[in-house]
Amino acid sequence: MIIDLNQAVEFLKNNDDFLILTHSHPDGDTLGCGFALCEALKSCGKNAVVRCGDTAPEKYSYMGRLCEEDIEYDNIIAVDVADAKLLGKDFEARFGSRVKLCIDHHGSNRLYAEKTLLDPTAAAACEIILEVIKALGVEITKNIADCIFTGLSTDTGCFRYANVTPRTMHMAAEMIESGADHSKINIIMFETKTRTYVALERLALESMKMYLDGKCAFITITQDMYRRSGSDESEVDAIAAIPRQIEGVVVGVTMREKTDGTFKVSMRTHEGVDASEVCAMLGGGGHPRAAGCTVSGNVNTARNLVVSCIEKYLQEDVNN
């Protein structure tokens, strides 16, 4: 059931113990949402913990720490999680059908939760969380401001993408007024690379192939590349932005091999190609400019499958 801000706030006010879940392979938005909401609920005298099926990369640690104890509360809230399967295999099995409130900004949200507060016009789920926190009457502390600013900045590629609205900018300004360390956060998120990441990026660039008359650039990251670079999956997020940067490319794809033999696809597009629609053909979803899905097969069949869906989409676009 879709609910509005007041109904979400009622749910939070009327209950006491909350288990907040982020999506697996957590990013700045889902963690910013989780830690900001957790602090706000605690300041209302409630119990709350943030948990994730994966560990969080160290660079996000200034916002807070995930709860590693196996704490389980009945009031489960999922933040920035469009589909129960994005909780990760174990968490999906344990909590996927018991989420009471989902707060999200993906138009492709599967409405798997009992109640969903959804705003696809929000550039980051943190925009919605800030409205919830304000409606709870909680003061915006420096830490809440850091968390919300992180979500706004990371989900907009440092305020560059088409999803930015005046509201995004107003909220970012407000977070700076409340003490957010904007330049420190942006340096950590956009201007700092580990050596292992750079080694992985080099291998990723070498793997790049062009398809569809140069409209599609495709990076493939294999398990072997993690071994050779000393990097791991937690460092691949920034790579997803690279293929779309090539002149003439309208669809950039980064496909990474998982340990179970499947491939996770990150798609980034320019105007005119709805990444969420292309990924929906493969059982995934996301936003118009950034979406994802999981495919199986060997490297070549998986890559061909993704390219053929993009080709089909572009073909239909021409015919319409």
Sites of contact with Mn ion (CB under 5 A): 29, 80, 125, 155
Considering the rule CB under 6 A, would residue 292 count as an interface residue with ligand 5GP? yes
Say if residues 71 and 42 touch (Cβ distance below 8 Å): no
In the bound complex, what is the minimum distance in angstroms from residue 186's beta carbon to ligand 5GP?
18
Q: Which of 76, 290, 295, 310 binds ligand 5GP (CB under 6 A)?
A: 290
The alpha carbon torsion through 49, 53, 55, 56 (nearest 10 deg) reads -70
Nearest to 278, CA basis, from 196, 216, 232: 216
Return phi, psi of residue 122, to 5°. -75, 130
Burial class (CB in 10 A: 0-12, 13-18, 19+), 113: buried
Nearest to 152, CA basis, from 170, 178, 134, 139: 170
Considering the rule CB under 6 A, would residue 229 count as an interface residue with ligand 5GP? no
Site string for ligand 5GP, 89-128 (x = CB under 6 A): -----------------x-x--------------------
Sign of torsion, CA 56 160 276 220?
A: negative
Considering the rule CB under 6 A, would residue 310 count as an interface residue with ligand 5GP? no
Looking at the Cβ atoms of 39 and 92, the one nearer to ligand 5GP is: 92
In the bound complex, what is the minimum distance in angstroms from residue 110's beta carbon to ligand 5GP?
7
Sign of torsion, CA 309 311 315 317?
A: positive
In the bound complex, what is the minimum distance in angstroms from residue 187's beta carbon to ligand 5GP?
21
Considering the rule CB under 6 A, would residue 240 count as an interface residue with ligand 5GP? yes
Which residues 61-90 are close enough to bind ligand 5GP by CB under 6 A? 82-83, 86
Residues near ligand 5GP (CB under 6 A) are: 82-83, 86, 106, 108, 240, 266, 284-287, 290-294
